Amino acid sequence: MKNKILKNMDWGVLVCSLLLFAIGLVALFSTTRNSNYDEFKKQLVFFGVSIPFLICTIMLNYNDIVKFSPFAYGIFIFLLIIVLFTNPISGAKSWFAIKSFRLQPSEFAKIITILFMTYTLNILQAKGKKEINKPLKLISVLLIVLVPIGLIILEPDYGTATAYIFATIFIIFAAGIDKKYIFAFAILVAILIPFVYSKLPAHALSRIEVFLNPESDPRGAGYNIIQSKLAIGAGELFGMGLFQGNQTQLGYLHPKTTDFIFSAIGEEMGFIISALIIILYVVLITKAVFIAKTAKDNIGSYIAIGIAGIFTFHMIENIGMTMGLLPITGVPLPFVSYGGSSLLTNFICIGLLLNISARRQKAIFIE
C-alpha cells in the first residue's frame, strides 16, 4: 500500500515547494547577516519541525483527517478569540509569544477551515449535488469561514482574512455553486465597497492612499513601497549579489525577511531568480488544481482547490505589493518568507496535496 502511495504521488508538488524554500533560505542567509543569522537559523529549525508533520499528513488517509476537522475547528476558533487578549505585535494581536518564538493561530486555522468546509459540504451533497445552491445550506457553509474571518479582522489582519475569502471562492466554485449567486455576490461587493472603505481604520486607509500615490508620503506611509521598488529595480537581470544589495543590507528595506523578502531577492538575485519564483508558484498552483480535478472524491477535490486558492492569493498579494501593484498587507510569501507558523502550515498543505494525489483515481469535478 505504501509503495502504491509513493508511486502515484505527484512529486512535482514537493519539488516546487522545496525549491521555493531553498531560494528563501538563501535570501534569509543574506538578509540576516547583521543579526547573527538569527532568523535564518530559526527557519532551519522550523523546517525540521515541519518534516514530521509533512510525512504524517501524507501517510494518513485524508478522509480520516477530515473527520477530525469539526473538533479542530472549535479549538482554533477558541484560540482566535484568546489571541485577541494578547499584547499587540507590530500593531496586531495575531500571535502567542512563546519566549523568542511566535505562534500565529490564524495561519493554522486556514487549513482547518478548509477541512471543516469540506466536511460540511460532503455531508450536504450526500443528499444531492445541488444542495449547495439552497440558500440556507449555502449560508451554513459560508458561516464556517465568516466566523474566523471576523475574528481575524478584529486582530486586525486584513491580508490573512482575504486568504480565507480566496479559498472559499475556489471551494464553492468547485462545489458547483449556481452562477446567479456569483452574479449576486459581485453586485453586493460593488455596493458594499464604498461603505467598507468609509469604515476602515486610519492605518488601512493610509495604505490604500499610499498604494494609489506612494510619493504623497515618501518618508512615512509610502516609504516601504518606494524602497521595495528601488530594490527590485536595482537588481536588474542578475542581481547585485548576496550581501551586496543597498536597500537590503543598509536597512532601508523593512521587514526584509517577511513581507519584503521578494524585494530582497529581486535586488540581490535579480530578475532571473525572481521570475523563477513566479514560475514555481504557477506550476505549484496548476498542479494543485489538477489534483483537485483528478481526486477520487469530492473531499479530496475541495481540499486541493482550497489550498490552490490560498497559494494563489499569497503569491499575487505578496509579489504584487512589493512591486506597488497592490496595497501593502502583512501577507508572507509561502515557503520563502521567514515564519514558523506559515512554513508549517504550508508544508501541511503540501502533505495534503501529495496525500490526495497518491490516492486519486479519476476526475470527479461537479459540472
Distance, in Å, from the CA atom of 228 to the CA atom of 37, rounded to the nearest integer, reads: 22
Q: What does the pLDDT read at residue 360? A: 77
Distance, in Å, from the CA atom of 358 to the CA atom of 12, rounded to the nearest integer, reads: 12
**308 lies in a domain?**
yes
Q: What does the pLDDT read at residue 126? A: 77
Tell the residue number behind the cell numbers 527557519, with chain if given.
43
Distance, in Å, from the CA atom of 54 to the CA atom of 37, rounded to the nearest integer, reads: 26
Q: What does the pLDDT read at residue 193? A: 74
Those residues with Cβ within 8 angstroms of residue 343's Cβ, 6 or more apart along the chain or in another chain: 21, 43, 46, 47, 50, 335
Q: What does the pLDDT read at residue 367? A: 37
Q: Per-residue pLDDT for the chain (367 aa), expressed as one digit of tens each?
A: 566 667 778 999 999 999 999 999 999 999 998 888 999 999 999 999 999 999 999 989 999 999 999 999 999 999 999 999 988 877 788 888 877 678 899 999 999 999 999 999 999 887 767 778 888 888 889 999 999 999 999 988 888 999 999 999 999 998 888 878 878 877 887 787 777 766 666 666 676 777 777 666 667 767 888 899 999 999 999 999 999 989 999 888 888 999 999 999 999 999 999 999 999 999 999 999 999 999 989 999 999 999 999 999 999 999 999 998 888 888 999 999 999 999 999 999 999 999 999 987 654 443 3
pTM: 0.91
Distance, in Å, from the CA atom of 296 to the CA atom of 210, rounded to the nearest integer, reads: 47
Contact 309, 15 (CB under 8 A): no
Instruction: Give the DSSP H/E element, type plus range, for residue 128.
Output: none
Q: What does the pLDDT read at residue 254? A: 85
Distance, in Å, from the CA atom of 355 to the CA atom of 364, rounded to the nearest integer, reads: 17
Those residues with Cβ within 8 angstroms of residue 238's Cβ, 6 or more apart along the chain or in another chain: 269, 270, 271, 272
- Which domain range does residue 233 map to? 2-359
**55 lies in a domain?**
yes
Contact 88, 95 (CB under 8 A): no
Total structural domains within the chain: 1
**364 lies in a domain?**
no
Give SS3 for 117.
helix
Q: What does the pLDDT read at residue 92? A: 81
Provide the β-strand partners of residue 40: none
Q: What does the pLDDT read at residue 363? A: 41
Residue 124 zone, left/alpha/beta (φ > 0; ψ -120 to 50; rest): alpha
**367 lies in a domain?**
no
Residue 236 zone, left/alpha/beta (φ > 0; ψ -120 to 50; rest): left
Tell the residue number behind the cell numbers 538569527, with chain if given.
38
**365 lies in a domain?**
no
Sign of CA dihedral 221, 225, 47, 12: positive
Those residues with Cβ within 8 angstroms of residue 315's Cβ, 6 or more apart along the chain or in another chain: 278, 281, 285, 333, 334
